[in-house]
Structure 1
């Protein structure tokens, strides 16, 4: 299977929206107290803005969009932190039928290429604590835990 990671095009909207909705539904199932179902999670207008930023990519397999990747550059500079530029993975979503088939790894190769081109110091992302499959993949790709968000839910 040949995976092409390329910049998103206008005609990729429907497939990208459907994939993002699949991932949103997973979040809703894991944490209905935090996430809500929303079939219009990414409007065509928002997709256009993301696409025009140049930071939105898709995984294309034989002409079909099977994954979505959004990255942004973040500059960290404060009295408490070492100054650095971070390539941050805002979204990475893969169609349920293509999970476990190398799409995520292809996205990481693209992100590493973008890091090198931009001169960024690091690559970072956030992951839902209940998304065990994604965390395992990230660890296989060399990611380590940087911080852990915790919450106290009082009734």
Structure 2
């Protein structure tokens, strides 16, 4: 297994994994509830620079020329700016553009993590998270943060085992999440 930065041409392989990771948030980001349109629009955003879903912010775990898992992460100070292109596009489509604030500040924010079900149980998600933690250390970012859906306690336990601590609770796209922090 190889972990590498994503490329624009990975977008169609990455989109279903992003959808699996963010569920209802995908509908807010794409302005549709039609699954095929959601995947097409996620792929569009992943393939473009300068937004939260951009390939620029994605690491992929690749095995046998297949993307087995993804992690999206970016600096918290860039979060608002990375949402602007999506908000502008949603508004032009006549869709609500009121995206929830998920993070801010001098943190590396893990936006999404997903592993293809056929590659589950191999530690790929943990390796991707470790890649993000290593990146934060290498670039001098003092904390790594993420939001975990309260309906996914297994993910919360994984993050706790990796050293993350619950800091607060927030609402994102109608769901309740634990905002967790790992201080480096």
The two structures have a TM-score, normalised by structure 1, of 0.74
Give the C-alpha shift of residue 24 in structure 1: 4.7
Instruction: Please list every run of 5 or more consecutive structure 2 residues that lacks an aligned counterpart in the other structure.
Output: 26-32, 49-53, 79-104, 172-184
| 2:135 aligned partner | 114
CA contact (8 A) 2:9 2:47 kept: no
Residue pairs, 1:2-151, within 5 angstroms: 3-24=1-22, 36=33, 38-41=35-38, 42-49=41-48, 50-51=54-55, 54-75=56-77, 85-149=106-170
| 1:33 aligned partner | none
Secondary structure class of the residue paired with 2:106: strand
| 2:175 aligned partner | none
CA contact (8 A) 1:75 1:86 kept: yes
Give the C-alpha shift of residue 60 in structure 1: 0.6
State the structure with more CA Rg: 1
CA contact (8 A) 1:21 1:38 kept: no
How many residues are treated as equivalent by the alignment?
135
Tell me, in whole angstroms, the C-alpha distance in 2 between the residues paired with 1:148 and 1:45: 31
Secondary structure class of the residue paired with 2:132: helix
After superposition, the Cα gap between the structure-2 partners of 1:71 and 1:24, relative to the gap in structure 1 and judged at 3 Å, is closer
RMSD of equivalent CA atoms: 2.8
Give the C-alpha shift of residue 147 in structure 1: 0.6
After superposition, the Cα gap between the structure-2 partners of 1:113 and 1:91, relative to the gap in structure 1 and judged at 3 Å, is same
Structure with the bigger percentage of helix: 2
Tell me, in whole angstroms, the C-alpha distance in 1 between the residues paired with 2:8 and 2:57: 14
After superposition, the Cα gap between the structure-2 partners of 1:40 and 1:99, relative to the gap in structure 1 and judged at 3 Å, is farther
Where in structure 1 do 4 or more consecutive aligned residues deviate above 4 Å?
none
